Amino acid sequence: MSSKLFSPVTLGPLQLFNRIAIAPMCQYSAVDGFPTDWHMIHLGNLALSGAGLLIIEATAVTPEGRISPDDLGLWLDAHQEALAPVIRAMRRHSPIRIAVQLAHAGRKASSEVPWEGGANIPPGQPRGWQTVAPSSVPHAEGETVPLALDADGLARIREGFVAAAKRAHALGLDGIELHGAHGYLLHQFLSPLSNRREDDYGGSLENRMRFPLAVFDAVRAAVPREMAVGMRISATDWVEGGWEIEQSVRFALELKARGCDFMHVSSGGLSPQQKIPVGPGYQIAFAERIKRETGLPTIGVGLITEPRQAEAILQQDQADVVGLARAMLYDPRWPWHAAAELGEQAFAPPQYWRSQPREYKELFGSTRLGQR
């Protein structure tokens, strides 16, 4: 029986030739939002992996929305122009579908890169700036108190998402993923732990969903229907009294009604008080529930490292696509190795065909595999 991992799937208008997605992974290697040589090397390497979908790292829609000063950005036309050669190179040598994750970090912005400790950088310090959020509640004790966004601030950020989405479309990307997870701005509006507002954007679940849904509506309207638009969410904060799976299902149903093409289901990231029971596939149950109760295509993630583990998730209908991040960094040819283990075929550029082991003589298939 053929594997499900290497069968085609659609995420709205987006057709994938297999069900392996490379989840977005911040590289903290941009300069003023501009991609560098690192992005050409890194993304080019992943484009040759044989995966069906590559989602470019969290890409800031405004300068203050960067997680770190070294985040990739798409708030300027010049950013689009600088990223274009990277996209063209990937297109030239790989059939992989390409999306971008558009993001605003909110109160978790203005942080140092992970290998320098990742600490919050206060405004006024070199590389630091004033953060914004739904409410003036810091992410952690001792960190910068963010400014609560007013109506003008909300409109400016919404338009930042729209402008970045239009640039993503102009780049010829196949999809957009809005970052509503991991404690960043859209998640901060959803969670009652970070959203203490008393206006139309706070309090009830309907109010807390209002701004993230407005951003989705604006982005969906800004690009053609042929471009997939989905959202990544944290299904739970893993903190008592915080955002949880029942609210996530409600949110997903609202997104579905607005034309959302897929949900990318993660968890956590909002609070240092979180208690996460990390283990293989620890977030898959959330993807399964959202898929079952909404009918939306889902990307499931969470310590998925082994081909048969990924295959089992799909066979059990727990997700439509599996997303790999750290596992793909560790083994950028993970899809080749998965295809070999499952008796399937994977895309590889002809320059690499002679690497095919003798025992897997049909591993790389035909030159047309996965082509548009």
Catalytic residues: 184
Q: Are 260 and 231 in contact, with CB atoms under 8 Å apart?
A: yes
- Cα pseudo-dihedral 259, 173, 269, 139, rounded to 10: -100
Strands 132-133 and 321-324: unpaired
Buried b (16+ CB within 10 A) or exposed e, 67-98: bbbbbbbbbbeebbebbeebbeebeeebbbbb
Angle, vertex CA 109, rays to CA 108 and CA 113, nearest 5: 100
> In whole angstroms, what separates CA 248 from the centre of its chain?
16
Q: Other C-beta atoms within 10 Å of 343: how many?
A: 13
